[in-house]
Amino acid sequence: MTDSNLQSDTQPGAAIDYERFLDCVHCGLCTSKCPTYLETGNENDSPRGRIYLMRAVTDGRVDLTSHVARHLELCLDCRSCETACPSGVQYGRLIEPFRVDMQRRGIKSDQLSVPRWFQRYVLYGIFPYANRLRLSLLPARVMQLLKIDRAAESIGLTGLLPTPLRRMQRLLPPLEKALPQLPEILPAKGPQRARVAMFTGCVADAMFRQVHWATARVLQANGCEVLIPRTQGCCGAIHYHSGAAGPTLDFARQNADALLSSEVDAIIVNVAGCGSMLKDYGHIADELGANDDRFARFASKVKDVTEFLMELGPVAPTTPVPLKATYHDACHLCHAQKITEQPRRLLSMIPGLELLPLDESDICCGAAGSYNLTEPEMADRLGKRKANNIRTTGAEAVISANAGCTLQIQALLRETGHPLPVLHPVELLDRAYG
């Protein structure tokens, strides 16, 4: 497939392997797991309905209007339909290239809430670059330290911000003390069992570096030498999921150059959304016409940290962590990567930790990358649904393996008057290793 397959002079949807549409037998089992359908009850907002729409557009039976585009924009791309589907429909391989096609044609609905300046200068210009994001957070750190943010909110000053910036301010957690950058090489503790490279990404490195440190220490405790290449970058998901093909491939090439340069057993990721994106580099390269076998080789080495530890055989932790917690299944871990048992099995090894069941654990919290900024109304509905389910567990903490989920769940729990810490599984393992 070449870039010409996606140009505006071809039929919409020409980038998609048409046989993938035919995999759907229209049974409707996906609808009960689709977050947007659960909220709207509109068939066009279900996976089955969206597949009907995309196929009809590709066949030329329906025009790709802004009304049709709206139903496709509202999709979270959480992939829960793939878990529910008995026919193995690869929904992500349908919606994602179709959105790239929409972007290249300049087709979108008139309801998309993000202005061009925000997408260009914030989503594309700041978020994918950890250093830029770190610098942009400095004023927020100062305001939190001096409690200016609370005063501004109490007198309504934050209400004067443009909507997307107000959303960002609302999602911002208490920023922890900035930790130093991880060294390029961390030695294994005890006999070396593996050599791994660690993916640090953009938002995760700028806002959750404590999770990176915990991940590195847990890997070391399990006999891994850990490499952190300096030239790696964003996984490209922000651009890809909004249909920007060129920058997506640029980031993929950057990461392939950085993380394949050393002979490692695995490339370790601790953010579910990034892991899903990195594992899809081979598919994405084919869809976008990039003829480079490095992407498939790269994807074959990517492992979520919990997946890798269970394959390696984890060292049993011995330090008690007395805590009642509930585990939220990040969509791109459980649906896209099919990883559900590994985190739970690792957590069950921690002395003193009690895991409480969470209703609708695998239903999206509304974060979905930048979805909670671009689709605030639906994101809030799903976030409140998740927060209500968490409250009923009686948990003292929430466990989440994705940075976006952590931000979303923290914010909605605060707003509903039930603030709880939201921790990554490796943070608890790190405590349990003493």
CA atoms 69, 71, 74, 78: torsion sign: negative
Measured in whole angstroms, the distance separating CA 383 from the mean position of its chain's CA atoms is 15
375: left (phi over 0), alpha (psi -120 to 50) or beta: beta
Can you tell me the distance from the alpha carbon of 332 to that of 257, in angstroms, rounded to the nearest whole number? 24
Beta pairing class for 266-269 and 302-304: parallel
Closest alpha carbon to 332 in 256, 410, 270: 270
Can you tell me the distance from the alpha carbon of 21 to that of 40, in angstroms, rounded to the nearest whole number? 24
CATH code, residues 185-308? 1.20.1050
Identify whether the C-beta of residue 34 lies closer than 8 Å to the C-beta of residue 46: yes
Residue type, 190: G
Predicted local distance difference test score (pLDDT) of residue 15: 65
What tokens were used for 274? 């990034």
299: left (phi over 0), alpha (psi -120 to 50) or beta: alpha
The residues, any chain, with a CB within 8 Å of residue 397's CB and separated by 6 or more, are 323, 324, 325, 326, 420, 421, 422, 423
CB atoms within 10 A of CB 388: 14
Predicted local distance difference test score (pLDDT) of residue 291: 79
Side-chain half-sphere exposure of 321, counting CA atoms within 13 A: 24
CATH assignment of 312-432, among 3.40.50.300, 1.10.630.10, 3.40.50.11810, 1.10.3720.10: 3.40.50.11810
Residue 268 bridge partners (DSSP): 198, 303
Residue ranges with strand state E in 173-217: 185-186, 194-198
pLDDT tens sequence for the chain (434 residues): 333 333 444 666 666 788 999 999 999 999 999 999 999 999 999 999 999 999 999 999 999 888 898 999 899 999 999 999 999 999 988 998 888 788 777 777 766 667 788 888 888 999 999 999 999 988 888 888 888 877 877 787 777 777 778 888 888 888 877 899 999 999 999 999 999 999 999 999 999 999 999 999 999 999 999 999 999 999 999 998 877 888 999 999 999 999 998 889 999 999 999 999 999 999 888 888 887 889 999 999 999 999 999 999 999 999 999 999 999 999 999 999 999 999 999 999 999 999 999 999 999 999 988 888 888 889 999 999 999 999 999 999 999 999 999 999 999 999 888 999 999 999 999 999 99
Predicted local distance difference test score (pLDDT) of residue 416: 86
For 326, the 3-state DSSP assignment is: strand
Q: How is the chain split into domains, by residue range?
A: 3-105, 116-171, 185-308, 312-432
Can you tell me the distance from the alpha carbon of 256 to that of 238, in angstroms, rounded to the nearest whole number? 18
Identify whether the C-beta of residue 186 lies closer than 8 Å to the C-beta of residue 216: yes
CATH assignment of 3-105, among 1.10.1060.10, 1.10.1040.10, 1.10.510.10, 3.20.20.70: 1.10.1060.10
Distances in Å between the Cα of 36 and the Cα atoms of 103, 149, 366 are 22, 33, 10
Closest alpha carbon to 362 in 79, 169, 86: 79
Identify whether the C-beta of residue 102 lies closer than 8 Å to the C-beta of residue 15: no
Predicted local distance difference test score (pLDDT) of residue 315: 96
pTM of the model: 0.90
Q: Do domains 185-308 and 312-432 have the same CATH topology?
A: no
Cα-Cα end-to-end distance for the chain: 51
The residues, any chain, with a CB within 8 Å of residue 50's CB and separated by 6 or more, are 44, 71, 72, 75, 95
